[in-house]
Each structure stands twice: as structure tokens, then as C-alpha cells.
Amino acid sequence: MAIIERNGRLGGHCETWTDPSSGVPVDYGVVIHQPLQAVYDFFKKFHIPLLNMSSVSWNVPRDPANASLPAVCYSSIRKDVDFRDGSNVDRGVNLEVDDAFSRLGSILSNYPYLLQGYDLPDPIPEDLIIPFGAFLEKHNLTAVIPTYYQFSQGMGNLLDIPTIYAVKYFNLGDLQALTQGYLTVADGDTSKLYRKAGDYVGRPNIFTQSTIVSTRRQNTTSGNLELLISTKGEGLRLLSCKQALLTIPPTLMNLGGWDLSAEEYAVFSQYVNANGYWTGLVTDVGLSSTTTYWNAAATTPFQIPVLPGMYVLTPVGVVDNVWEVKFGSNTVDLSDDLVQDYIQAQIRTLRNANNATSSAKEPSFLAFSSHTPFQLQVTPEAIWDGFFRNLTSLQGGFGGRMFYSGAAFHTPYSALLWRFNQEVVLPLMMQQTERRWM
Ligand SMILES: Cc1cc2nc3c(=O)[nH]c(=O)nc-3n(C[C@H](O)[C@H](O)[C@H](O)COP(=O)(O)OP(=O)(O)OC[C@H]3O[C@@H](n4cnc5c(N)ncnc54)[C@H](O)[C@@H]3O)c2cc1C
């Protein structure tokens, strides 16, 4: 087995920063998990304790963080603010929220197949293809929007995207986890999972800072798939594989050098949009360290914030003077530098609106990374025309040797992807292996 990874580390969207003076880890990427068996299995395999976030004692807002809990369990005061000008937005209290979520749960339970990839009925229910905002209005469910939006970071124009993308991301399992509790890594260092998984796979089998230069997957002398990779320090290496699992975002640009089959090209060339999603940790924010600022807007439908912009700015609590930021956009074309400038400008706007001291230092980044492209999308017409059927039927191509997983083949959600891998993709791969040996 070999892993080819472009970055210098494993983990993808999972990112952890460690405070150099206290050694306290702070997750600023993947951090919460639905209580699925696949999640328990994965962490148990590497002896990493999890905690249920609903069954621990969070601090009272305005009090210091409970130092025995990870940063994600820090509780602060909520403030809804328009990050464009710093004005407060009154979101009020909507008494219909619980009922709306309960009715949404009933509707989603009609679509159990959404929890495992894109193996959909034919025809696909129209409700899954219409824009998510229209779906919510049709079923009188708009009361869920503020909470749904908050949990759907990275989804860009949430109300405009086809419903299927929205309800696979914040899904039936989340409605249950909201009451039963999400899991998180007990010591706040989720990246440990990938360090331990890397040790398990064996460092010589992991090619970091490496990419595929070209592939030959048909008519090879060995009958195997041949992948030519560019590695860090070892130049080009030719890998000869019985099977391959592609999990990177399958845009045509990211697949440069691959000998795409006509079927692969027909599917991957249909992506027309994706969102931008960035995360980081900032110091010297100069705002109250017991308040979380949520972006909102007084005059937009359902008061959802205007993107591009920060979704949220929140103190991490377990380390002084450190704040987490999440930034979203409806397109992928913002540079990382521009996003950082944008974040700093929005923090200054919040400072001015909150009369923060003018002597405060400029906010600066302790950590920052782009997770763009996030949620690759095709048009509703492409969905009607069988896009997901064609995507799914790629599995087992090239004579039972090529397989696919990752966000584009299910949803950008780690816990859901682990279960998809365990219950759908790996059995498919094993089936093909056994067939060949028989
Ligand atoms: C800020 C943030 C917070 C999140 N929080 C949560 C959370 O709390 N819980 C949860 O369940 N999910 C969370 N998610 C979603 C979750 O991270 C994703 O759904 C999941 O990581 C997607 O997995 P993936 O394998 O498709 O992509 P990734 O995790 O991005 O992995 C893809 C990997 O492929 C590599 N790669 C890309 N292109 C190439 C190439 N050409 N060659 C070689 N390597 C390449 C990338 O470097 C990356 O390591 C979060 C996502 C983000 C961005």
C-alpha cells in the first residue's frame, strides 16, 4: 500500500496548532464527529480517547475555559454582527425552530440513501434537485435556516445550491447528534489520528510532498495500474498497483497527467462551481475574549451573511489571545493573501464598532490554510441527466482496479466519509480482489 499526498503531512482538512509556550493543542480544522460506529472504530484502533461534548462540563460563558477540555468545548457569549460595518443584528427568537427541525428530520428519513454516497433512485426526487431555499419554503421549514447555515460552513450560497448538497452535508445524523451529542478528541489534538495512521501504514509507504505526474491504467505489460509520481527528494518513482483509490478533488486541473477514460472525462468535466473555504488562528484581535462574533446581515433574506467574508470569529479560550476564524466564499478564485487581508480588515471593522483600544496591535496569523475547492458542484440539469449515476458507475472501472472516494463521491464530512469507505468503498475493492484470485 502507498499513499501519495501533495502536502507535507497527512490529514487533509484536519489541522492542529500547538501553543509553543503551554503545549496546548488547538484544532482549527476537523474537530467534531457524529457518534457513528465507523468513528468509534477508527479512533479505537489507534487508542485515541473521544469525549461526548454534551456530557462534559463546559465553562459558564464569561468564565475561563475548563482547562481539562479541548478548545472546541469553550463557551462564550454570542453576538450576531454584520462584519461589513460592525453593526449588531438582532436575530430574535423563533419559536418554530424545534418543530421545523423535527419535520425536516421526518422528510429526510425518506432518503436514507443520502447517507452513503450517490447511489440514488431513478428518477431522483425533484425535492433533492431544487434549490435548498425553495425546498425549505415549499415545506414551510425556513425556521431552520439560521442554525442550518451556521453548521453548513463551506457551502457558499446555501439557499441557492441543489438541495441534495445541503442535506447530505448537514444531514439526518446531525439532527440526531444535536440532541445526543457530538464526539471530539479528548485532548484536543485530532491530528494525532493521522500521525498514528501514518505510523500504521509505515512511513516508507507514504509519499508526502508528492504528486502524480502521469498514469497508465490500460494495456500495461504487468496488467497493473502504473502511476508515475514526483516525490520529495527521490525524484520520479513508478508505482505499479493492483488497485488505486482516488480521493483528491477530481477537477480536470487536479487530474492533469491522468489518462482519463471517456467515462471519467465525461463526469469530471461537468463541475461548474465550487466554494472557497479557509480556516486560521489569529492573535492580537483586540476584542472581548469571552465573545464569539457570528457574521449576519440585517437586510438579507433570513439575515444570512454576505460572502465572501468571515463566518465566525471566536476566542479559543484554552490559550490566551488566540482566536479561530473561518472564512467562506461562493467561488474559488480568491487568493490566500487576499483572504488574509479581508479577515484583518473585518477584524478592524469589529474593533472600531466595539470601541476597542486604538493602541491594540495589528491582528496577525498564527496559522492559516485554504481548503478550497470545497463542495464541487454540477448544474441541476446535469443532475437530472444522470450525473450522479455516471459518477457512481466509475467505481470498479479499469477492469475492477480503479476506485474513488472523498468529498466529491459523498459529502465533505469526515465521519460520513469514514463510514462510506468502511461500508461501501472497501467492500467493493475487496470484492474485486477476491474475484481476481478465484
Ligand atoms: C475548516 C474545516 C473544518 C471541518 N470540520 C469538520 C468536522 O469538524 N467534522 C467533520 O466530520 N468534517 C469536517 N470538515 C469536513 C472534512 O474535513 C472533509 O469532508 C473531509 O476532509 C473531506 O475529505 P477528503 O478526503 O475528500 O478531502 P481532504 O481531507 O481535503 O483530503 C484530500 C487530500 O488530498 C490532497 N491532495 C489534493 N490534491 C492532490 C493532488 N493533486 N495530489 C496529491 N494530493 C492531493 C490534499 O492535500 C489532502 O490532503 C471540515 C472541513 C474544513 C475545511
CA pair distance 252, 430, nearest whole angstrom: 28
Distance 131 CA to ligand 1 centre (A): 25
Choose which residue among 245, 248, 405 to substitute to test ligand 1 binding: the one with the highest number of ligand atoms within 8 A of its C-beta.
248
With 0-12 / 13-18 / 19 or more C-beta atoms within 10 angstroms meaning exposed / middle / buried, residue 406 is buried
Predicted local confidence at residue 93, as pLDDT: 87
Distance 31 CA to ligand 1 centre (A): 12
| Residue nearest atom 50 of ligand 1, based on CA coordinates | 30
Tell me: the pLDDT tens digits for 370-394?
A: 999 999 999 999 999 999 999 999 9
Tell me: the pLDDT tens digits for 219-231?
A: 999 999 999 999 9
Q: Is the pLDDT of residue 437 over 80?
A: no
CA pair distance 171, 167, nearest whole angstrom: 5
Residue 25, classed as helix, strand or coil, is strand
Atom nearest to 4 CA in ligand 1:
43
Q: Is the pLDDT of residue 25 over 70?
A: yes
CA pair distance 400, 431, nearest whole angstrom: 9
**CB neighbour burial string for 29-57, b if at least 16 within 10 angstroms, e if fewer:** bbbbbbbbebbeebbeeeebebbebeeee
| Residue nearest atom 4 of ligand 1, based on CA coordinates | 30
Q: Is the pLDDT of residue 435 over 80?
A: no
Nearest of 13, 22, 11 to residue 321 by alpha carbon: 22
Q: Is the pLDDT of residue 358 over 70?
A: no
pLDDT average, residue stretch 130-156 = 97
Q: How many other CB atoms are there within 10 angstroms of residue 85's CB atom?
A: 12
Quick check: 166 and 133 in contact, CB under 8 A?
no
Predicted local confidence at residue 355, as pLDDT: 78
The CB of 254 under 6 Å from ligand 1? The reply is yes
Tell me: the pLDDT tens digits for 424-434?
A: 999 999 998 87
Please give the share of the chain, as a percent, with pLDDT higher than 90.
94
Q: What is the mean pLDDT of the chain?
A: 96
Nearest of 251, 255, 363, 382 to residue 310 by alpha carbon: 363
Question: For the chain, what are the domain ranges?
Answer: 97-174
The CB of 230 under 6 Å from ligand 1? The reply is no
Predicted local confidence at residue 30, as pLDDT: 97
Predicted local confidence at residue 175, as pLDDT: 93
pLDDT average, residue stretch 360-376 = 94
Largest CA distance in the chain: 74
Residue 79 pairs with which residues in a beta bridge? 293
pLDDT average, residue stretch 325-336 = 96
The CB of 9 under 6 Å from ligand 1? The reply is no
Helix %, strand %, coil % for the chain, to 5? 35, 20, 45
DSSP 361-373: PPPEEEEEEE--S
Distance 193 CA to ligand 1 centre (A): 14
Distance 168 CA to ligand 1 centre (A): 16
Single-letter amino acid code for the residue at 350: L
CA pair distance 334, 340, nearest whole angstrom: 10
The CB of 17 under 6 Å from ligand 1? The reply is no
Nearest of 296, 340, 290, 348 to residue 315 by alpha carbon: 290
Q: Is the pLDDT of residue 169 over 90?
A: yes
Predicted local confidence at residue 432, as pLDDT: 86
Q: Is the pLDDT of residue 193 over 80?
A: yes
Quick check: 81 and 87 in contact, CB under 8 A?
yes
| Residue nearest atom 31 of ligand 1, based on CA coordinates | 12
pLDDT average, residue stretch 253-271 = 98
Listed in sequence order, the residues at least 6 apart from 280 whose beta carbon sits closer than 8 Å to its beta carbon are 28, 324, 325, 327, 340, 343, 365, 366, 367, 368, 369
pLDDT average, residue stretch 303-320 = 97
pLDDT average, residue stretch 160-167 = 98
- Provide the CA 43 distance to its chain's centre, in angstroms: 19
Quick check: 279 and 377 in contact, CB under 8 A?
no
Neighbouring C-alpha atoms within 13 Å toward the C-beta of 47: 2
Tell me: the pLDDT tens digits for 43-89?
A: 999 999 999 999 999 999 999 999 999 999 999 999 999 999 999 99
Please give the share of the chain, as a percent, with pLDDT higher than 70.
99
**23: alpha, beta or left? (left if phi > 0; alpha if psi -120 to 50):** left
Predicted local confidence at residue 438, as pLDDT: 59
